[in-house]
Amino acid sequence: MDSYRKLMFKTSTYASVPEYGESLRLGIYQAQAAYGPGASAKNMDRLEEVARIAKERGVQLLSFPELYVPGYTLSSKEAPKVAEFVDGPSITRACRIASELKMAMLVPYAEKPKWMGKSNITTPLRESMKKASW
């Protein structure tokens, strides 16, 4: 078992940041997000701060926790109030930050469907991808 751990360490870490195209440097931000009134703005401010630190450390893909933007402790009554469309202010800001830093980010948020009662999966993927490209 000890040799297995050594092998895993050697194959999953690098002494320096890999060159673009050679590998991918993933950053995972795990923290308790703010929740309640004004949480989305607070969490987006923190997202920008964390993204800039991650960029300094060579991160190419940065992932945030589930429902990071509005905060996870949403009731079924609160969720629709803080939900945003894919082109809403939080995701628009996240895309601007990602574009500026030339970094991909996974930013979970409460999505407001375009059509009530229908799944938002029907929205063409390319519409969402346009927002994510840099």
**What token pair was written down for 96?**
């601007």
Nearest to 30 by CA among 108, 133, 84: 108
pLDDT per position as a tens digit, 32-48 = 888 888 889 999 999 99
Strands 26-28 and 61-63: parallel
CATH class of 28-132: alpha beta
Here the tokens at position 65 are 């926790």
- Cα–Cα separations (whole angstroms), residue 109 to 4, 13, 98, 104: 38, 30, 16, 16
pLDDT of 21 above 60 = yes
Q: What is the pLDDT of residues 68-106, one digit of tens each?
A: 898 876 677 887 888 888 889 999 999 999 999 999 999
Return the pLDDT at 44.
Answer: 95
DSSP 29: -
